Amino acid sequence: MADLGDKPLDLNDPKDRKQAQYDLTWGDHGFLRKRFANRHDLGGGMYRENQPSPDRIRIWADEGIKTVVNLRGPSPKGFYLLEQEACTAYGITLENYRMYSRDTHTVERLMGAKDLFDRIEYPAVMHCKSGADRTGIIGVLYRHFRMGDSIADAVEQLSFKYLHVRQGKTGMLDFFFHEFLAYQADHPEVSFEDWLKGPYDPADVKARFMAQWSGNPITELLRRE
């Protein structure tokens, strides 16, 4: 199907709606998610999944979900416009909170997740594209900030169980938490929040990860997030 270029999609236009559905199914690999939601219960009324279709959002509404946390951020693409429309139609609050799977995050973005967890209405679902990487780092933060797990326990949210593969550049997420745990081993009095607001340097962590990363072309080709 032809690319509509910079022209914004209008879901009231049948041709644009068709383009949006095409984008969700093929451009965003929605066909791979037809029968697999990568759904997991994080406790406390929070669930994690992959990118939903409008039909999936209808199921969430039937389950009583109140909030959807979209970790991909707003987009002009059809997958987002259809999600936004479905959340409005079914009375679900859509929170856009952009995270990254192949980069370090600012202190403000990481601590902002704590505020997000405190203010949203539950039950809720968080998602990225595949429910593996961005959902993984937020899953760690949720289990730590909201459920009280130690980071050492919460990093289980970044594992192959959720399709997270640390051998690609997405391993930067694992490296980030490893850096904290290594620092805490020598400074047991320092909490995760203390480390974020003190020794943590996003640029330095990224540079040291990239210096030791050998590369994995398969995971980068698949670009699961």
Q: Has residue 45 been placed in a domain?
A: yes
SS3 40: strand
Cα–Cα distance between 88 and 94 in angstroms, integer?
8
> Stretch 106-121: mean pLDDT, rounded?
98
Is residue 83 in some structural domain?
A: yes
- Residue that has been written with the tokens 């009324």 in this structure: 45
Quick one: CA dihedral 35, 36, 40, 45, positive or negative?
negative
- Please tell me the predicted confidence (pLDDT) of residue 214: 66
pLDDT of 224 strictly over 80:
no
Task: Please say whether the beta carbons of 93 and 66 come within 8 A.
Answer: yes
Q: Examine the pLDDT at 3 and tell me if it is beyond 60.
A: no
Average pLDDT of every residue of the chain: 92
Residue 195 lies in a domain: yes
The C-alpha atoms of residue 120 and residue 88 are separated, in whole angstroms, by 16
Give me the CATH number covering residue 216.
Answer: 3.90.190.10
Q: Is 5 inside a domain boundary?
A: no
| pLDDT tens readout for residues 86-99 | 999 999 999 999 99
The C-alpha atoms of residue 161 and residue 211 are separated, in whole angstroms, by 27
Tokens linked to 22? 């095409």
Residue 101, domain member (yes or no): yes
The reply to whether omega before 188 is within 30° of 0 (cis) is no
Does the pLDDT of residue 219 top 70, yes or no? no
Q: What is the pLDDT of residue 166?
A: 85
**Would residue 30 count as lying in a domain?**
no
What is the tens place of the pLDDT at every residue in 56-89?
999 999 999 999 999 999 999 999 999 999 999 9
Residue 211 counted as domain residue:
yes
pLDDT digits (tens, 9 = 90+) for 180-203: 999 999 999 999 999 999 999 999
pLDDT, tens digit (0-9, with 9 covering 90-100), for 150-164: 999 999 999 999 999
**How many structural domains does the chain have?**
1
Determine the structural domain holding residue 79 and report its residue range: 35-222
Name the 3-class secondary structure at 11: coil
Nearest-angstrom CA–CA distance, 99 and 125: 15
Please give the Cα distance from 142 to 44 (Å, whole number). 10
Is the per-residue pLDDT at 7 higher than 90? Answer: no
Amino acid (1-letter code) at residue 77: K
* pLDDT, position 213: 75
Q: From its phi and psi, is residue 86 left (phi > 0), alpha (psi between -120 and 50) or beta?
A: alpha
**Do the domain assignments include residue 189?**
yes
